Structure 1
């Protein structure tokens, strides 16, 4: 007989054996009515066979905190929607906090989280310091990170997206249309997602044998004013050195792409007739812009929902062996990209 201990049975174990999602198992454990009788009976039989006893000692007030850098951006709204829906399905309330990148704000959300004895936290913040991690640990509050700045503790569950692959898809789309002079409006240098998108742009250009001239990559912020400023700077730089302007631009966010729209129109240039533009994120307004924006869809709501479900598993005492999950991005082609009017060389 083997002396090895039996493998720990978790909600994931039950879900896999029953052929259902972990959310369905959780609904049965919580006595929810929106599960068929046959499925409910099958799950309960499997739990009885494994002598499964759910651990609920850490569930306190049925409240989870969602902490973001800001609450009013289109990006944040999609994250809020995804997390709220997933938590609502589990009968858990959600509290919102904004950090705004300030030390005072950071202290405030930590203090508030401790005061209301939150069950856990979904953190969508630009950075998490070692001191903050230590305080969360001292409070006994589990947390999940969404799209963090850089490398994090491998024991902390992290949900992100395939930024590098998405950037390659965007750039290859423009190359496939015949563009050879392509620029990139990048996000903040310190953000991991910005660097991954810039790296993907460079990788696609290099694979196609296309040069990236000095000044053709402009780092800024994920907002409309930055896109407008950096797009204007791209055009000014091309004029200053006597180089042809780019015929296509890949922006690291949809808002930067809309800023590029403005800068191009101010110069009398049309999208996509004169310059094609691709964004990143696929926030809802992209389909209503003029022209509708070709962009890389980042599954923001799905990322938030996975973070919420992962957090609830941690709250329930499960081991979550997901150090980092990256959900797939994909290109959505709309009206802002087209073949260049005049064939251009690589220069």
Structure 2
């Protein structure tokens, strides 16, 4: 049992069997609600929780149960981007003597319920969630067990009460597109991320806003949806470049990994970068500087994002006031994959 009862009088203790009788639920259901199990209804959970509070039953986590660990969950762990984020989280936690546990959800937007239940049982000092927000039930479980969580680069819009950290995706996309426009490009393709992800929509909106500044309408034929992976970038680039007469002169890839896919598509189509096609990415992962040619990209401050998310967990645990929503600035890194458009 992960909680201990608080005395209501000197002689009396609240018993779970009393809560079961009071609420009409079984002892097993009361125990599940108390220990954060997911396989009970929201109605039962709220009713039992209220009865526990009204009766003076207080959840207590014994000091030895709280692990000096932060759990980090990724949708997958197959990309350089994920490795860089993890490296930067570890760099920060080491300074505080905190361990890191990593989980893979296998879902772009949400962890599976088994991971959530397991985390409640392990009771780390906090969790960093690299995906969209939790469900209301899961948010309740985290908060009722005093486990703070930070949504890192959220896929959806965080609630006002959630802790979150992200980059300024809209501004980053604006400066990337402006860079291409200043080089004389007007027919600029974009390979986005998944439409349901907040950062992807922000980058597309920034691209459209920069075009609108020059009076250039957004053309659907120049937009390809990707998934922030290299294969997705390759497929998007092939779709944009297959019609030789209507090819864009530049492509803004929504991530550096997608830019790698653009490079491969250009190689297969015998399109030279940057002579025939300018390419710009987003993230500035380590390998972008070593691509051939070196990739012009938007630097997403991954190290600052990772350290900020980690400190938000630590500060919350230690009772300090923090800013709940942090948006960090992006910047342009100009290398060799973009050049001024030269018309014959």
Q: What TM-score range do you get, normalising by the shorter chain?
A: 0.7 to 0.9
How much has 1:100 moved relative to structure 2?
1.0
Partner of 2:319: 317
Aligned partners of 1:257 and 1:177: how far apart in 2?
19
Aligned partners of 1:302 and 1:93: how far apart in 2?
19
Tell whether the 8 Å contact from 2:192 to 2:226 is kept in structure 1 after alignment. Answer: yes
How much has 1:284 moved relative to structure 2?
0.3
Aligned partners of 2:64 and 2:160: how far apart in 1?
23
| Counterpart pick for 1:186 among 189, 192, 199 | 192
Partner of 1:219: 225
Pairwise mapping of residues 295-310 of structure 1 onto structure 2 (< 5 A)? 295-310=297-312
Tell whether the 8 Å contact from 1:67 to 1:109 is kept in structure 2 after alignment. Answer: no
| Counterpart pick for 2:142 among 136, 141, 147 | 136
Partner of 1:337: 338
- Post-superposition Cα deviations, 1:82-118, rounded to whole Å, max 9, x if no partner, equal 1111111011111111111189952232132123221
Report the count of equivalent residues: 283
Q: TM-score, normalised by structure 1?
A: 0.77
Aligned partners of 2:110 and 2:220: how far apart in 1?
39
Q: Indicate the structure whose relative CO is greater, using CA pairs within 8 Å and at least 6 residues apart.
A: 1
Partner of 2:289: 287
TM-align CA RMSD: 2.1
How much has 1:132 moved relative to structure 2?
1.8
Give the structure with higher Rg (CA). Answer: 2
Aligned partners of 1:179 and 1:103: how far apart in 2?
35
Is 1:83 equivalent to 2:84 in the alignment?
A: no
Aligned partners of 1:192 and 1:260: how far apart in 2?
23
Unaligned runs of 5+ in 2: 1-62
Pairwise mapping of residues 162-201 of structure 1 onto structure 2 (< 5 A)? 162-201=168-207
Aligned partners of 1:210 and 1:58: how far apart in 2?
62
Unaligned runs of 5+ in 1: 1-56
Tell whether the 8 Å contact from 2:110 to 2:132 is kept in structure 1 after alignment. Answer: no
| Counterpart pick for 2:105 among 88, 99, 103 | 99
Range that drifts further, 265-274 or 62-71: 62-71
Q: TM-score, normalised by structure 2?
A: 0.78
How much has 1:258 moved relative to structure 2?
0.8
Q: Which runs of 4+ in 1 moved over 6 A?
A: none
Tell whether the 8 Å contact from 2:133 to 2:151 is kept in structure 1 after alignment. Answer: no
Tell whether the 8 Å contact from 1:59 to 1:316 is kept in structure 2 after alignment. Answer: no
Tell whether the 8 Å contact from 1:223 to 1:256 is kept in structure 2 after alignment. Answer: yes
